[in-house]
Structure 1
Amino acid sequence: MNLVTKKMTEKNAIDILTWKYEKPYDLYNNVLSGDAILELLDGSYKVITDTHNRTVGYFCLGRAAQVPAGDQFQVYKADCIDVGIGMKPELTGKGNGEKFFSHILESIYQEHPNTDIRLTVATFNERAIHLYEKFGFIRLQTFNRETTEFITMIKHKG
């Protein structure tokens, strides 16, 4: 699977917002709305496609990648680039994660070399946490938003 990072289009945004994940990953389901489309088109999101221009996933950088509830626990105080990712539900759990996440990290480092990268993930998502640890991310802080516990993880530059 060869991957390409592109600017998010309205067509990509609508496609992504209609994805439906099975429990317990349904936490990552979105609602298709005008505001949600505008958020995905605000410049902080990139779409990842295969060579046939089929949407494989996306990533976002900055505030869009943070869980706002983490602010009250000061989990985002350190100067880092925050990344959030999403892979098409039909492609998850099938061994595609390493290639997908590697592509995202390469894209980030091309624009932001020598920068610490932080991500936030629900603690039940052990599949993702294991993947991130393979890439050198270490666990930092946990916090709760309503009934879900999250953890921040960081990959130090270099």
Structure 2
Amino acid sequence: MIVQIKEMNETLAKEILNWQYDPPYDFYNNDCTDENIIELLNDQFKAIVDEHNQIVGFFCVGESAKVPAGYKFGVYDADLIDIGLGMNPNLVGKGFGFEFCTSIIYFIKNQFGESPIRLTVATFNKRAIHLYEKLGFFYENRFNSGFTEFITMINKSAEEKE
């Protein structure tokens, strides 16, 4: 399914920002505004495409991966590699998640080494949480943004698990 990780560009950003998820995942819907396009073009985002150059998903690393409300709860105090990700809504729930996430983790580890990876996920997204647990992530912290509740999950390197 996943063939290439590409630099984000305006065309890819606009397509991603126009994705529409079904409830309750519509929480992840965005508006295709100039501000949101600029955010996706901030060099922290990458697009993932298949063999037909169709967008499978995207991911980001760093500040863009953090939920701002988490700072006041101290969930980002540890210096870890933060990732955020999104899958094309036409592919969600069809068994592609493990391969999709594994490809992202592989890319991150090649870029940053075996440093622990942290992600933030809405607690209602049980399907994603289950997938992240299968990928070796475990619960770290919980916080409420005022709109929804989130948890942070960490995937430590093999050396740190011992």
Same fold (TM over 0.5): yes
Deviations 1:89-136 (A, max 9, x none): 010001010010000001101101111000000001000000000011
- TM-score, normalised to structure 2, is 0.96
- Give 1:146 shift: 1.5
Provide the residue aligned with 2:124 in structure 1. 124
Distance 1:52 1:23 in 2: 28
**Unaligned segments of structure 1, at least 5 residues:** none
Provide the residue aligned with 1:115 in structure 2. 115
Residue type at the aligned position of 1:76: Y
Kept in 2, the 8 Å contact 1:46–1:60? The answer is yes
Residue type at the aligned position of 2:157: K
Residue type at the aligned position of 1:79: D
Kept in 2, the 8 Å contact 1:120–1:152? The answer is yes
Provide the residue aligned with 1:134 in structure 2. 134
Distance 1:147 1:111 in 2: 33
Kept in 2, the 8 Å contact 1:3–1:103? The answer is no
Give the alignment's Cα RMSD to 1 decimal: 0.7
Provide the residue aligned with 1:73 in structure 2. 73
Residue type at the aligned position of 2:70: G
Kept in 2, the 8 Å contact 1:2–1:50? The answer is yes
Provide the residue aligned with 2:64 in structure 1. 64
Q: Secondary structure, in 3 states, of the residue corresponding to 1:32? A: coil
Give structure 1 regions of 4+ aligned residues with deviation exceeding 2 angstroms.
Answer: none
- Give 1:24 shift: 0.7
Provide the residue aligned with 1:150 in structure 2. 150
1:89 aligns with 2:89: yes
Kept in 2, the 8 Å contact 1:4–1:49? The answer is yes
Q: Secondary structure, in 3 states, of the residue corresponding to 1:91? A: coil
Q: Secondary structure, in 3 states, of the residue corresponding to 1:75? A: coil
Provide the residue aligned with 2:26 in structure 1. 26
Provide the residue aligned with 1:44 in structure 2. 44
Q: Secondary structure, in 3 states, of the residue corresponding to 1:30? A: coil
Distance 1:13 1:2 in 2: 18
Provide the residue aligned with 1:7 in structure 2. 7
Q: Secondary structure, in 3 states, of the residue corresponding to 2:90? A: helix
Distance 1:22 1:146 in 2: 22
**Unaligned segments of structure 2, at least 5 residues:** none
Distance 2:111 2:145 in 1: 31
- Give 1:52 shift: 1.2
Residue type at the aligned position of 1:61: V
Q: Secondary structure, in 3 states, of the residue corresponding to 1:99? A: helix
- Give 1:147 shift: 2.9
Deviations 1:10-49 (A, max 9, x none): 1000000000111111111111111110110110000000
